Structure 1
Amino acid sequence: MTDLSALTDLIRRDAASRGQTVSKLGYFCAPFRPSEGPFADKVIKVYRGLDDDAALDRLARCHDDYVAALLSADVPMPGTEFHLLDISGRRVPVIVQQALPADSLMRPLMQTGTRDETLAMMQAAGLVIARFWHWAAGRDERVGFHPSIRNFAIRGEEAVFFDTFPPLIHYSREEMGRMLLQFSDKRLMRLVGPLMQARVTGIQEEWYSPPETLVGLVGSACRLRPEFAQDYLEWGRGFATAEMAPWADEALAGLREPPRLPGYWTGFRKLLGLQGEPNV
């Protein structure tokens, strides 16, 4: 049982005393891992609070439902809890997650691995993607998945997924577009984003498309290791046909050449200083 009083005290402390900041480049927050104490084996993710209590309560319910959905889809995950804590008179969403070893994060492993090692990691991540979408097929609720390389760790031969925010379940396309602005940790995004709401809303499209999640995985790998791009494309085509047959035609169309990020998203990333580091 999580000691919420101790967790609140931890978050209230000066950022310099929190411990190791796992990533400073996340879109929604900068997760940290305490260096000592009862949460030393956890990663803490603190998000922006809202003045809308009903919206926060709905967020909590949706997050619980999303974690349950991922587990139902046999997506390997570390233990994950969601809490709404009172921080300086404001309710703040906080995720507490079992920490994964730093040397298990997929992105740095992809950067240093051999061709065969990186292809094995792609296969592990691909199997998680395929399992999720086969589970989600035909379900009534709107549910998505963001299986980017930076959101996986590799434990043995298994890919472990750890990104549960925002919870990609129940929210409409328009609601999710607004959430991308409401909860952005980047003040510039909150100021400039509303002027480009349609483009911001479009960021989520890949997360709700089975073929695009696979194409996105391959595209990220090609950008990380361009010397293996043709190997990754070949792997992606074969994987789409063998493991994601219902969506194979669309995936194959996106794998004719190394996939590129949409221009508006690369523009946002440069504007905000996001370079795709692990967001654990």
Structure 2
Amino acid sequence: MPTDIAALSDLIRADSAARGQTISKLGYFCAPFRPAEGPFSDRVVKVYRGLSDGAALDRLKRYHDDYVFALRAAEVPLPETEFHLLEIDGARVPVILQEALPTDSLMRPLMQSEPLERTLEMMQSAGEVIARFWHWAEGQETRIGFHPSIRNFAIVDGRAVFFDTFPPLIHYDREEMGRMLLLFSDSRLMRTVGPLLRRKVTGIQDEWYSPPETLVGLVGSACRLRPDDAQAYLDWGRGFVKAEMQPWADEALAGLKAPPKLPGYWTGFRKLMGLQGEPNL
């Protein structure tokens, strides 16, 4: 059934009490919410900042559609996901409508609460998604990236499901993506940073375009969530890259000699924006 655009626009105009459950207040780009009732109660709604540049918005929609197509072509499990440009109070606003996943399936809290053996199974499932994506991406001519952090996965019936499609990590060059990270940030502070910080923000994306660094980043997140089990995650990561990511094994192994740490500039940005490592549906 086609999406009722008018009803979706009315929902977004409604005040926060009428919208329903806010899934996360801590996302970098927006605070997704799930309506308590109505035609979108089985969806998560993500509303982003509008831009005055209509051509840039049209390009964003095309690229998002291309990115969802690419993720599916790479066999990345993804909930049903739609991108719309809605007219809201005289402005065109990007909105993503996505099939809601069970709240008890989010990988990050499961990694904190489940026994070690179970968490290693989750890491294996997420790692297989990462490996499939990068082996597929090797044959692509356009610039394409992936942000498979623990907070961007759910575990549904034992399978890792990825749900973060914004910004669409396809086609944009490095400088363009750096500007995207600032233009669409939910933090006014981040949108007004000076030139030096702009260069550092641009660097945030580099891990997303590096096969070994995405895997190392996954392991690093697990080590920070469960420091007492860090050695088990390092051992898993080393074995995984040797078996499943051979083209990038040497570089990944170099990053898995000790528990990986977040870059200092990224932890600093998160503190400035009041962000934590919560799920960002």
Distance 1:242 1:269 in 2: 34
Distance 1:193 1:143 in 2: 27
Superposed counterparts of 1:79-228, under 5 Å: 79-192=80-193, 194-228=195-229
Distance 2:18 2:244 in 1: 46
Distance 1:160 1:85 in 2: 27
SS in 1 for 2:110: helix
SS in 2 for 1:278: coil
Structure 1, residues 129-187: CA drift from partner, whole Å, max 9, x if none?
Answer: 00000000131100000000000000122100000000000000000000000000011
The CA RMSD measured in Å over matched residues stands at 0.7
Unaligned stretches of 5+ residues in structure 1: none
Distance 1:131 1:16 in 2: 41
Match in the other structure for 1:74 = 75
Could you list the structure 1 runs, at least 4 aligned residues long, displaced by more than 4 angstroms after superposition: none
Distance 1:192 1:176 in 2: 16
Unaligned stretches of 5+ residues in structure 2: none
Match in the other structure for 1:270 = 271
How many residues align? The count is 280
Aligned-residue identity in percent: 76
Q: Say whether residues 1:259 and 2:260 are aligned partners.
A: yes
Q: TM-score, normalised on structure 1?
A: 0.99
Superposed displacement of residue 192, structure 1: 2.0
Worse overlay, 245-254 or 194-203? 194-203
CA contact (8 A) 1:181 1:193 kept: no
Match in the other structure for 1:50 = 51
Q: In structure 2, do the counterparts of structure 1 residues 177 and 238 end up closer, same or farther at CA, with 3 Å as the change threshold? A: same
Q: TM-score, normalised on structure 2?
A: 0.99
Distance 1:115 1:194 in 2: 44
Distance 2:276 2:112 in 1: 14
Structure 1, residues 61-99: CA drift from partner, whole Å, max 9, x if none?
Answer: 000000000000000010000000001000000000000
Structure 1, residues 205-224: CA drift from partner, whole Å, max 9, x if none?
Answer: 00000000000000000000
Match in the other structure for 2:33 = 32
Distance 1:133 1:146 in 2: 12
Distance 2:196 2:183 in 1: 14
Match in the other structure for 2:239 = 238
